[in-house]
């Protein structure tokens, strides 16, 4: 299917389901790709306070820069936006900076689909993302690096190079991430992922910046103890503790990512971020508990990857099917937006065991000349 210019505004209710920033990111990315102008009232109406934060403003402006869009209402606190895309011409060299600890990974979420497709071979796009790298309410940059991007490369052939130039912790931000995005000229292939296979190893890093090394060690030890209690053999656990230098991190903070690798090449993650007043042991245990919970349902992707791959399943050519755990509101939102914007059809098979099979008849998107 080739994209065509559509002039009628597509109206999307910003309060649907999770009613947060993910709805905005997916809608804007698909608007840019498909040349479909959108209007979104009730922006983040399920959040307190509602409306755009600096991070959402930066993300929408980044997508607008990629596709030469005209926008209305894209300012702090706005509860209604209009996004009218122009033509995407690659490659791009862009920088996005919300000026806060807003998440770099969420900036990548809105921009990556826009930079992925080219009607002819071209140089990679270069993207510098500033802000927070390890923050709450968003995937940590380590998750993007070790779970999301490997999935994209293995199953969709999308090979994004990501370099963490400097970490930025909440509340100061100040981090910088550099991404190289080579475009594809053909439709993405469908993905079929139904059998996870046994866990072979659990890797991970507990890290701190601007704080004593012992705090990372305590996070690591608590996570390891919880994994052992959950039935993971000690020989399968390979978790390190890391303290960053002043050059490697801005501000002080920490976090932990654990990820299980299975015999069938699945990667299942669990993570947690240090916050003021939370003991390092609690942070480590939270990450381990999240990982164990995601392993319990025998799904091939975890609860966070589940919603991030929906947009790519919709754009892929042919029928995709992925087994996962219980659906999250983020995933239900992503499916709704993908169906409304692309015309792809999703089917859900929810099993008594708690697992869900998400299948999708994708549109086989390729860009117009």
Q: By residue range, what is the domain housing residue 67? A: 1-89
Per DSSP, the residues of 108-160 read HHHHHHHHSB-SS--PPEEEEEEEBSB-TTS--HHHIIIIIHHHHHHHH----
Q: What is the pLDDT of residue 336?
A: 96
Does the pLDDT value for residue 212 go beyond 90? yes
User: Residue 63 — very low, low, confident or very high, per pLDDT cuts 50/70/90?
Assistant: very high
Structure-block tokens of residue 344: 């792809």
- Residues recognised as catalytic: 330
Does the pLDDT value for residue 195 go beyond 80? yes
Cα–Cα distance measured from residue 22 to residue 234, given in angstroms and rounded to the nearest whole number: 37
Mean pLDDT of the chain: 94
> Which of 122, 151, 185 is the last residue in one of the domains?
185
Cα–Cα distance measured from residue 212 to residue 350, given in angstroms and rounded to the nearest whole number: 45
User: Residue 170 — very low, low, confident or very high, per pLDDT cuts 50/70/90?
Assistant: confident
Q: Is residue 26 part of a domain?
A: yes
- Whether 297 has a binding-site annotation, put simply, is no
Centre a 10 Å sphere on the Cβ of residue 332 and count the other Cβ atoms it contains: 17
Residues 79 and 101 in one domain: no
Q: What is the pLDDT of residue 213?
A: 96
Q: Is residue 115 part of a domain?
A: yes
Q: What is the pLDDT of residue 218?
A: 98
Residues 218 and 292 in one domain: yes
Q: What is the pLDDT of residue 173?
A: 85
Residues 131 and 152 in one domain: yes
Residues 272 and 208 in one domain: yes
Where b means 16+ CB within 10 Å and e means fewer, 256-288 reads bbbbbbbeeebbbbbbbbbeeeeebbbbbbbbb
Mean pLDDT for 43-60 is 91
Structure-block tokens of residue 363: 């549109």
3-state secondary structure of 264: coil
Cα–Cα distance measured from residue 52 to residue 170, given in angstroms and rounded to the nearest whole number: 19
C-alpha distances (whole Å) from 81 to each of 7, 29, 163 are 16, 14, 32
Q: Is residue 332 part of a domain?
A: no
Domain harbouring 26, CATH code: 3.65.10.20
- Whether 165 has a binding-site annotation, put simply, is no
- Whether 55 has a binding-site annotation, put simply, is no
Residue 200 vs residue 4, higher pLDDT: 200
Centre a 10 Å sphere on the Cβ of residue 65 and count the other Cβ atoms it contains: 15
Query: In total, how many domains does the chain have?
Result: 3
Q: What is the pLDDT of residue 21?
A: 87
Residues 137 and 147 in one domain: yes
Whether 180 contacts 124, CB under 8 Å: yes
Residues 8 and 42 in one domain: yes
Q: What is the pLDDT of residue 7?
A: 62
Does the pLDDT value for residue 6 go beyond 50? no
Whether 298 contacts 268, CB under 8 Å: no
User: Residue 77 — very low, low, confident or very high, per pLDDT cuts 50/70/90?
Assistant: very high
Residues 85 and 95 in one domain: no
- Whether 146 has a binding-site annotation, put simply, is no
Q: What is the pLDDT of residue 20?
A: 84
pLDDT digits (tens, 9 = 90+) for 238-272: 999 999 988 899 889 999 999 999 999 999 999 99
Does the pLDDT value for residue 3 go beyond 70? no
Q: What is the pLDDT of residue 343?
A: 96
Q: What is the pLDDT of residue 8?
A: 86
Q: What is the pLDDT of residue 369?
A: 53
Residues 207 and 275 in one domain: yes
Mean pLDDT for 206-215 is 95
- Whether 307 has a binding-site annotation, put simply, is yes
- Whether 142 has a binding-site annotation, put simply, is no
> Which of 63, 89, 115 is the last residue in one of the domains?
89
> Which of 39, 74, 89 is the last residue in one of the domains?
89
Residues 101 and 79 in one domain: no
Does the pLDDT value for residue 154 go beyond 90? yes
């Amino acid at each position: 299917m080739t994209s065509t210019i559509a002039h009628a505004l597509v109206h999307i209710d910003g309060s649907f389901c999770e009613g947060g920033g993910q709805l905005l990111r997916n809608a804007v990315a698909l608007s840019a790709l498909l040349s479909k102008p959108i209007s979104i009232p009730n922006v983040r109406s399920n959040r307190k306070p509602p409306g755009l934060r600096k991070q959402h403003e930066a993300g929408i402006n980044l997508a607008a820069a990629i596709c030469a869009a005209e926008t209305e209402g894209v300012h702090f606190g706005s509860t209604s936006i209009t996004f009218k895309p122009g033509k995407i011409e690659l490659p791009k060299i862009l920088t996005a900076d919300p000026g806060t600890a807003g998440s770099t990974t969420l900036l990548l979420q809105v921009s990556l689909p826009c930079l992925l497709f080219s009607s002819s071979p071209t140089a990679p796009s270069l993207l510098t993302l500033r802000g927070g790298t390890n923050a709450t309410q968003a995937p940590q940059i380590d998750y993007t690096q070790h779970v999301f991007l490997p999935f994209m490369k293995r199953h969709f052939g999308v090979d994004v190079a990501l370099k963490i130039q400097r970490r930025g912790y909440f509340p100061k931000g100040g981090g910088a991430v550099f991404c190289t995005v080579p475009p594809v000229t053909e439709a993405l292939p469908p993905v079929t992922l139904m059998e996870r296979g046994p866990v072979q190893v659990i890797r991970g890093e507990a890290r701190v910046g601007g704080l004593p090394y012992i705090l990372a060690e305590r996070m690591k030890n608590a996570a390891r103890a919880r994994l052992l209690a959950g039935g993971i053999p000690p020989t399968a656990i390979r978790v390190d503790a890391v303290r960053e230098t002043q050059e490697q991190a801005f501000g002080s903070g920490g976090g932990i990512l654990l990820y299980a690798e299975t015999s069938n090449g699945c990667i299942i993650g669990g993570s947690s971020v240090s916050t003021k007043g939370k003991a390092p042991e609690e942070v480590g245990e939270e990450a381990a508990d999240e990982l164990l919970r995601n392993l319990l349902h025998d799904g091939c992707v975890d609860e966070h990857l589940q919603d991030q791959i929906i947009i790519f399943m919709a754009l892929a050519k042919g029928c995709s099917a992925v087994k996962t755990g219980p659906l999250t509101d983020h995933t239900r939102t992503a499916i709704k937006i993908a169906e409304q914007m692309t015309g792809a059809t999703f089917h859900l098979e929810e099993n008594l065991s708690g697992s869900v099979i998400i299948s999708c008849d994708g549109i086989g998107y390729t860009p117009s000349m």
